[in-house]
Amino acid sequence: MVFPHPLPLVPAPVSATAGEGRMPVTRALRVTGPADATTQLIDAVERRSGIRLPSTDGPAEITLRIDPANGSPEGYSLAIADSAEIVGADEAGLFYGVQTLLQLLREDEDGTWGFLRVQITDAPRFPRRGVMLDVARHFFGVDDVKRFIDSTSALKFNHLHLHLSDDQGWRIHIDSWPRLTELSSSTSADGDPGGFYSKDDYREIVAYAASRHMIVIPEIDLPGHTHAIGVAYPELVEAPVLNDDLIADSARLGQPLPVAGETYTGWGVGHSSVRIHEERTYDFVRDVVRELAEMTPGPYIHVGGDESLGTPQADFDLFASRATAIVVEAGKTPVAWHEMGSAENIAQGTVGQYWGSISPQGTHADEAARFVDRGGALIMSPSDAAYLDMKYAPDFPLGLDWAGIIDVRTAYEWDPTAVLDVPAAAILGIETPLWSETTPNYSDVEQLVFPRAAAHAEIGWSPRESPARTWESFRSRLGTLAPLWNAEGIAFHRSAEVSWSER
């Protein structure tokens, strides 16, 4: 493996050798290749440099092509000398090669532009590299979600988990249960404005994500986090269970307690549950899953399962078994937070998502491992390293701190296969979630997501044994992304841990 330091690339490729000098970028450079990839490259170069490259069907200085014999899925090779060529093993690989090329676009002190000369061979470590956007606590419209897709897919993330429902709001229209969006979507946490996606909106997001090689995973959180369902259909939801922690936290934050049938704007968790012994509850779950499955070409539907604090274990087991079976009946693979591993008889092959800490507490590790025992696999989202809604520092104005303070180095220095005692092959990959209690505006989201998402992108993509996989190497390379992020209008946090480049 050859990887001279420093090449300004995040995530670090499998193999890279730097050449001398730069390939000049001018309006005379022509681009040839598949239409989608060439358009994305040309548009991005123009946003960054102001230079509009022409496309051609003939010979060109920049060639983009696909060759299935050129490595493994999502892999690519990139060669830049006096001309440039990207060869993707598939369409996704070509897309990721283009993202790497864009990171190599640099401005000289005299204002001219060029691509760094380099030879790269690359492919991902994990097949599952995800980000999660919580649109339930605070709602973000289609254009914001597209911006999120653009900026995270550029770091080679390939799954977008949309948290579509929670106590504070329901965000997707369901034809068979229309009051969900009529009555349960109008507000957000703290009483901020709400919103929802029409089916056309959702299909637009799914299609846009696919154009950036991201699979959308919709989540309807069940059986807890369901207060908003009860605002629209009170017969489906139990009365709130008010525990001492919820009461104390609500008083400390000056937030209201949940009241049955009324919109909830606080941040408390664990107080809600659907009525598990009512058959109409399963009619509801079946209809929602069916309509989501019809609009979602990806293989997954996430059914939640976390923080059902007031639900007896036997009831939780019953619900988990029936809900995961409903997802399978709809032709999808169920995904659930790791607590659902405690339930008996969940559907074979259900994928677990671990959100416990790097050093597992209580029963979390056992719950996660049981997904593997039942033929499933795991997605790693340890809350004290991967949660993007945690504060960078104690005095940072956005975010929470219940899982810990997560600076950029903490976000970087963990490994998905070292947290749980399960076979490495059982780890599908990672997901880095953004919960939105403290982010009423999309610029707030970007402050929390960037630059830490880049750390998780490297964890998910780059070989663990790569000599580039050190904090000092990463922080140096990360700093070189600033000009690209500035050109794309990303409101990233300029962490003092990193020396940010101006060119």
Measured CA angle at 132 (ends 126, 138), to 5 deg:
175
**Category of 153 on φ-ψ map: left (φ > 0), alpha (ψ -120 to 50) or beta:** alpha
Measured CA angle at 303 (ends 300, 308), to 5 deg:
155
Buried b (16+ CB within 10 A) or exposed e, 344-359: eebbeebbbbbbbebe
Buried b (16+ CB within 10 A) or exposed e, 405-443: ebbbebbbebebeebbebeeebbbbbbbbbbbbbbbebe
**Tokens of residue 457, six digits:** 């992108």
**Category of 203 on φ-ψ map: left (φ > 0), alpha (ψ -120 to 50) or beta:** alpha
Spatial CA neighbour of 346 closest among 430, 216, 222 = 222
Within 10 Å of residue 186's Cβ, how many Cβ atoms?
Answer: 16
**Tokens of residue 347, six digits:** 């559907």
Under 8 Å between Cβ of 162 and 140: no
Cα(272)–Cα(361) distance, integer angstroms: 24
Under 8 Å between Cβ of 95 and 154: no
What single-letter DSSP state applies at residue 13? P
Q: Does the active-site annotation cover 204?
A: no
Q: Tell me which of 307, 413, 488, 497 is the catalytic residue.
A: 307
What residues form DSSP beta bridges with 197?
Answer: 172
Under 8 Å between Cβ of 238 and 272: yes
Cα(234)–Cα(39) distance, integer angstroms: 49
User: What is the set of active-site residues?
Assistant: 307
